[in-house]
Amino acid sequence: MTNTHAAIEGSERKPLPGAVATGPANANSTIEVSVKLRRKKELPPLTKRPDTVMTRAQLRDTYGASQADVDKVVQTLGTFGLSVVRADTASRTVRLRGTVSAMEAAFQVKLFSYSHANGSYRGRVGAVHIPVALQDIVQGVFGLDNRQVARRRRQPIRDNSNARLASVSSAWYIPSQLATHYNFPAGDGTGQTVGLLEFGGGYFPSDLQQFCTLANIPTPPTVTPVSTDGTPTNSKDGAEGEVMLDIEVVAGACPKANIVVYFANWSEQGWITILDAAVQDQTNNPGVLSVSWGSPEDTDIWTSSAMEQINQTLQDAAQIGVTVCVAAGDDGSSDAVTDGQAHVDFPSSSPYSLAVGGTTIPTKGSQQPDIVWFEGDGLRADNGGSTGGGVSTVFPRPTWQSAITIQSVNPGSIAGRCVPDLAANADWNASPYLLVVDGQSQPNGGTSAASPLVASLLTLINAGNAAGKRVGYVTPLLYQSSTGGSGAGAAGCTDVVSGNNDTATAGGYSAGPGYDAASGWGTPNGVSLAQALAA
Model pLDDT for residues 241-272, shown as the tens digit of each residue? 999 999 999 999 999 999 999 999 999 999 99
Specify the pLDDT at position 484. 56
Q: Is the distance from CB of 151 to CB of 337 less than 8 angstroms?
A: no
pLDDT tens, residue by residue, 331-351: 999 999 999 999 999 999 999
User: 181: helix, coil or strand?
Assistant: helix
Q: How far apart are CA 246 and CA 262, in angstroms?
A: 12
pLDDT tens, residue by residue, 55-98: 999 999 999 999 999 999 999 999 999 999 999 999 999 999 99
Specify the pLDDT at position 158. 45
Q: Measure CA 136 to chain center.
A: 29
Q: Check whether 155 has a pLDDT greater than 60.
A: no
Q: Which of 448, 451, 456, 519 is catalytic?
A: 448
Q: Check whether 418 has a pLDDT greater than 50.
A: yes
Identity of residue 113? S
| Residues contacting 362, CB < 8 A, separation 6+ | 368, 370, 371, 430, 431
CA distances from 260 to 224, 235, 289, 436, 449 (A): 5, 17, 9, 19, 17
Helix (H) or strand (E) segment spanning residue 104: helix 100-107
Between 32 and 3, residue with greater pLDDT = 32
| Residues contacting 262, CB < 8 A, separation 6+ | 195, 196, 197, 198, 226, 228, 274, 277, 278
Q: Is the distance from CB of 488 to CB of 360 less than 8 angstroms?
A: no
Q: Is 448 a catalytic residue?
A: yes
Helix (H) or strand (E) segment spanning residue 34: strand 30-37
Specify the pLDDT at position 165. 52
Specify the pLDDT at position 162. 43
pLDDT tens, residue by residue, 21-53: 999 999 999 999 999 999 999 998 899 999 899
Q: Which of 198, 207, 240, 246 is catalytic?
A: 246
Over range 373-382, report the average pLDDT.
93
Between 482 and 439, residue with greater pLDDT = 439
Specify the pLDDT at position 483. 56
Burial of 434 (0-12, 13-18, 19+ CB in 10 A): buried
- What predicted TM-score, i.e. pTM, was given to this entire model? 0.96
Q: Which of 242, 248, 345, 421 is catalytic?
A: 242
Between 2 and 292, residue with greater pLDDT = 292
Q: Is 510 a catalytic residue?
A: no
- What are the phi and psi torsion angles at 55 (to 5°)? -80, 165
Dihedral sign for Cα 437, 262, 216, 327, please. positive
pLDDT tens, residue by residue, 463-491: 999 877 899 999 999 998 755 567 999 99
* pLDDT band at residue 535 under the 50/70/90 scheme: confident
Reduce the secondary structure of 1-19 to three states and give it as a string. Answer: CCCCEEECCCCCECCCCCC
Give the up-direction half-sphere exposure of residue 208: CA atoms within 13 A in the CB hemisphere. 23
